[in-house]
Structure 1
């Protein structure tokens, strides 16, 4: 029996779009509803504006005449306001639509899009009933729109730019903002009234402002990534212009009158307020959608300088003209105006330089004060407790002093550059500066520009190069401290391995041999009367075993320190040891000549120096005998300035590659020299043929406390 195929439901393109893009669909529906309700506000708004209802009745006729002189009328003002409101609505809706469609599909982006949409038609709740008389549905929509707009606007500083409440307790302020605006819009009768509650409202308002400032600063300095800080600076740029513009517009609104100054305030209010309300959503959209479109640091720097200087110039002028004029009873005196102008002209340049330096330090760090940056770096180096803390502290200091989003420090190792300290997240493009010490590259300092695509200017470059020179010395110091620690660990490891070898040889070899000898002695004692011949043979075997034990003891002693050094001294012990090789060789047809040249006299040397010199020479000659196919080997020893010099040169086939000088034998020679503070290198012979081993050993312990970490030594 055939089973009929189940027919899959088919969806139209519109249905598919609605399912896959439901946030955008909900946003479009909300935009239609809100704008329909908002459109109902326009007729009443135009009527009130034309009637100049916000102006005292006694001043309305005079204001109309003043406007007519400028060929303007209240109708012009009403339609101009409608036009600016329309432009603001279009801007907010465009940014909201882009957030829904182009931004990452996160709840915060959608929430922000609805807040911007609601801001287009938010109204002061007590005036909503007057603007929409007899329209309860439209009133409810506008009230709800106002709750979303105002509540979201004051909650935004706690959640921007990633939608998380930082710190966590600020979620309480988010709830307070929305609940407070909801009660004010829908149930104002539930809100307490009276003088005590006015004080409570003032306190909560102050706490809200303090919490907003704290949350923004805390997030910016502690939590935000470099990209999020850049987004915050965009919003800051919008607020830097919008907030003063809002207060300036509010002051102008309060001084509207029929006088020339009052008419100027009216026109200024109509021009400034739209900018103050439109610019923050624009910068907010840029921060979310296209935060890399412009160089916000430069824009913010110049804007802050302009704003601060405008306040200083305006305040100085008003202070001189109004303040001194009030004292003298002559506010409109021309002389005072000239005096104020002169004071502003004289003080503008030095004040602007100071303001520029202050804001540059805020945005770009200590780029313009390299001495302070170097001094700060030096203090951190001196305060470092150990080598492991020094390089991370240097990286953090460099990043903080120059306001760099990414700084990394690499040290040269045998396997290549190794990352040892990091601050920030590496971008796609970085600048790497070499760290050198006495002409030798010891590492690299990698930094990123403050903004993507930016190029360090000559001042930044010079400061980074100066820092790189200082950091190179510190990096070399840390490398030496690390090498010293590794050397100590190798010495301890070698010592313990030597002890283990001695224990094994004594326990497994000589110890077992002596135990067997005790048993043999007991056997000989028991059979000496009953079987003298067997006892004699046992004693003969016992004597051979004792001789073997003596040989083992001598071998162990020789491994610790060659007895010839105590009997003959260094030169005599070397001569006796080299005579064993002289005349030998690996080739039957070629006799190897081994020569010893001791230049000058040799006072008694410390035991460690003698053993190291003997073992290095012995190992070098052994390598020449085994591998070089040489016909002669010359060992030269001389003492100069408390440094013992040893060279072992042969005329063999030499080193096939530089890696031939990295075997176990060569490594052992280097370790013996390094343990005493000396050096040992393997190179080509002086005539370009063969191999030469050069070692230098101090004859006395070096002073200076090289076993301790002292960052201030450099």
Structure 2
């Protein structure tokens, strides 16, 4: 038998009892004195719906069975009353109200804590409920009231134990119980006051009482089925603040009215109440914010000390401590479960444990640029950071942003230096290989040939002459190899033609992928100042590499290259094309090589791509720092 079928059969078992209970209200209508019978039908039907929902979600669990027993007990009461035994009909109502429903409430958690106090609370609920049932039969009203109060007290004690022993979703379930009990109590008090003043009719009053009685079963159902459907903490806090504000508003209104009556001798006239109401409305929002802050302080403990936090954090930053130590200091002084420092989607550092669903995120900005986020885990039970803690976070955001920005720049500098050292070592390795594998054997051969010539001059002059000619060819090859190595270090055209003409000479023969010539327009000053050798080589390499990339990858036949002096401090090299980019662009080896060359001399390289084309800009310093 499948699980859905078993669930349907369990729910269907209550259907005949529910139908008979409803039908009994027609063949044996209750009198006003027996209105509890109609109440039992209303609440029994509500519990039947709760039983069906919980069983469909959690199967034949202990809470669903207890809800089903509660529904069956309440629905059986009207049948017993219709059968002429109203004395016995009261018993299942009392047992459902004081035993099975409270026990269902105490079983809402997924993992039942091991607690002797909780077992004693459940046993007390069952014992007191049994006492209430006996008192209802014997007619001992004082005993019935005493047993009912004891049962309610035991349930409150059990709920408190559950709250202390649970966390996460289980604690949310317990909070739903607290909300349901509080709502039932407040609504019952309000209904009692209305009953004394308005005296509603028989059916209306019973329906209202039944609706109030279903608040607790409804909260049990939500706790079991969907504890995260609504954040119960938001509901509880909002309800508490609303009740406090309503009480304060009523107290202010009645207090002013009483003082007016004492001073004038009569209640305020027609014009005073609207003015008083307007004054209360004007001050409602500021007072509400203050009430929320005070409530947070009262419920969730001591707030952070801004001076202490800034002092300790400043000590860490001054000492050059790493980011995890910053967060540890901040977490300790704020008293939060965890803090994270993020850059984009990367967690830079963390301290403690952070629940991603229960955090407050503060953007960190340095010089108008967002450099990261400070993610603060909220303390247990908090909906937001306490006011003083939020002030501390706002205060430390600026120095943290500057420190994070400085740390990022230091890391970039470290990586840049690493790339520079790697490039230098690779260049040295290349030169060593060229000298060892190219010039080394050639020069060795020249030396041996010279020795051979010296030995042949006296005995075989003609052979010596031929050997000298071969030696001359080897020397020529060696000169060519030396030139190749030298030109690899610094292009020959730079010394012969200068930077601008060297670029023109190198880019003139370039062609695009389909064979058409690439027209490069070079815009440069008539006379460039004497540039440092490293800057001149970098400008040449970047310009040539950028134009070559256009020839290889951009479907255009024209490019623009601009050399521009930026005051007396920088040379700007800009290469642009008008090729349309229809696919995501990913930088390759050429762009990375240009970045490394520019960073080696302290410059910056930016690449900007748009659907209308791409632009590469290099800012090169005219004076290289030592």
TM-score for the superposition, normalised by structure 2:
0.51
**Partners of 2:389 and 2:120 in 1: how far apart?**
41
Aligned match of 1:498: 427
Give secondary structure in 2 for the equivalent of 1:476: helix
Select which of 670, 684, 687 maps to 2:595.
670
Aligned match of 2:335: 403
**Partners of 2:563 and 2:400 in 1: how far apart?**
40
Note the alpha carbon deviations across 1:576-599, whole angstroms, 9 max, x for none. 342244255357974444443322
The Cα shift of 1:496 comes to 1.4
CA contact (8 A) 1:637 1:645 kept: yes
Aligned pairs for 1:646-685 (under 5 A) are: 646-649=572-575, 651=577, 653=579, 655-657=581-583, 659-660=585-586, 662-684=587-609
The Cα shift of 1:610 comes to 2.2
Aligned pairs for 1:267-346 (under 5 A) are: 286-289=163-166, 293=174
Give the direction of change, closer, same or farther, for the CA distance of 1:528–1:684 in structure 2 (3 Å limit).
same
**Partners of 2:547 and 2:462 in 1: how far apart?**
51
- Stretches of structure 2 that go unaligned for 5 or more consecutive residues are 1-101, 123-154, 176-231, 241-290
Give the direction of change, closer, same or farther, for the CA distance of 1:632–1:282 in structure 2 (3 Å limit).
closer
Aligned pairs for 1:636-655 (under 5 A) are: 636-649=562-575, 651=577, 653=579, 655=581
**Partners of 2:110 and 2:516 in 1: how far apart?**
84
Are positions 1:511 and 2:422 aligned together? Answer: no
The Cα shift of 1:647 comes to 3.2
Select which of 398, 401, 408 maps to 1:472.
401
Give the direction of change, closer, same or farther, for the CA distance of 1:498–1:459 in structure 2 (3 Å limit).
same
Note the alpha carbon deviations across 1:613-669, whole angstroms, 9 max, x for none. 222122223323444354444432222233333334354635554524x11111111
CA contact (8 A) 2:117 2:161 kept: no
The Cα shift of 1:486 comes to 1.0
**Partners of 2:384 and 2:297 in 1: how far apart?**
20
Select which of 297, 311, 317 maps to 1:376.
311
**Partners of 2:521 and 2:493 in 1: how far apart?**
18
Aligned match of 2:6: none
Give the direction of change, closer, same or farther, for the CA distance of 1:663–1:617 in structure 2 (3 Å limit).
same
Q: How many equivalent residue pairs? A: 388
**Partners of 1:504 and 1:539 in 2: how far apart?**
28
CA contact (8 A) 1:411 1:444 kept: yes
**Partners of 1:423 and 1:541 in 2: how far apart?**
75
**Partners of 1:363 and 1:458 in 2: how far apart?**
12
Aligned match of 1:698: 621
The Cα shift of 1:520 comes to 3.0
The Cα shift of 1:438 comes to 4.0
The Cα shift of 1:607 comes to 2.9
Are positions 1:419 and 2:344 aligned together? Answer: no
**Partners of 1:110 and 1:455 in 2: how far apart?**
31
CA contact (8 A) 2:300 2:382 kept: no
Note the alpha carbon deviations across 1:362-391, whole angstroms, 9 max, x for none. 92432xx6x5366336524533325xx13x
- Stretches of structure 1 that go unaligned for 5 or more consecutive residues are 1-93, 118-277, 303-352, 704-714
**Partners of 1:620 and 1:282 in 2: how far apart?**
72
Give the direction of change, closer, same or farther, for the CA distance of 1:524–1:557 in structure 2 (3 Å limit).
same
Aligned pairs for 1:16-27 (under 5 A) are: none
CA contact (8 A) 2:570 2:621 kept: yes
Are positions 1:538 and 2:477 aligned together? Answer: no
Aligned pairs for 1:207-246 (under 5 A) are: none
The Cα shift of 1:679 comes to 1.4
Aligned match of 1:363: 301
**Partners of 1:420 and 1:527 in 2: how far apart?**
75
The Cα shift of 1:503 comes to 1.2
**Partners of 2:116 and 2:381 in 1: how far apart?**
28
**Partners of 1:467 and 1:658 in 2: how far apart?**
39
Give the direction of change, closer, same or farther, for the CA distance of 1:517–1:654 in structure 2 (3 Å limit).
farther
CA contact (8 A) 1:647 1:692 kept: no
The Cα shift of 1:696 comes to 0.7
Give secondary structure in 2 for the equivalent of 1:423: strand
Q: CA RMSD in A?
A: 4.9
The Cα shift of 1:110 comes to 6.9
**Partners of 2:574 and 2:109 in 1: how far apart?**
75
Give the direction of change, closer, same or farther, for the CA distance of 1:435–1:517 in structure 2 (3 Å limit).
same
Note the alpha carbon deviations across 1:464-514, whole angstroms, 9 max, x for none. 455444433322221111111111111111111111111111112211222
Give the direction of change, closer, same or farther, for the CA distance of 1:545–1:383 in structure 2 (3 Å limit).
same
**Partners of 1:428 and 1:358 in 2: how far apart?**
21
Aligned pairs for 1:494-643 (under 5 A) are: 494-565=423-494, 567=495, 572-582=498-508, 585-586=511-512, 590-599=516-525, 601-628=527-554, 630-643=556-569
**Partners of 1:547 and 1:655 in 2: how far apart?**
49
The Cα shift of 1:283 comes to 5.7
**Partners of 2:119 and 2:614 in 1: how far apart?**
81
**Partners of 2:571 and 2:580 in 1: how far apart?**
21
Give the direction of change, closer, same or farther, for the CA distance of 1:521–1:403 in structure 2 (3 Å limit).
same
The Cα shift of 1:115 comes to 12
CA contact (8 A) 1:681 1:695 kept: yes
CA contact (8 A) 1:598 1:636 kept: yes
Select which of 468, 477, 481 maps to 2:410.
481
Give the direction of change, closer, same or farther, for the CA distance of 1:418–1:581 in structure 2 (3 Å limit).
closer
Give secondary structure in 1 for the equivalent of 2:498: helix
TM-score for the superposition, normalised by structure 1:
0.45
CA contact (8 A) 1:599 1:636 kept: no
Aligned match of 2:320: 385
CA contact (8 A) 1:649 1:690 kept: no
Give the direction of change, closer, same or farther, for the CA distance of 1:521–1:471 in structure 2 (3 Å limit).
same
CA contact (8 A) 1:365 1:401 kept: no
Moved more, 278-287 or 623-632: 278-287
CA contact (8 A) 2:317 2:403 kept: no
Give the direction of change, closer, same or farther, for the CA distance of 1:361–1:530 in structure 2 (3 Å limit).
farther
CA contact (8 A) 2:570 2:619 kept: yes
**Partners of 2:555 and 2:471 in 1: how far apart?**
45
**Partners of 2:157 and 2:505 in 1: how far apart?**
93
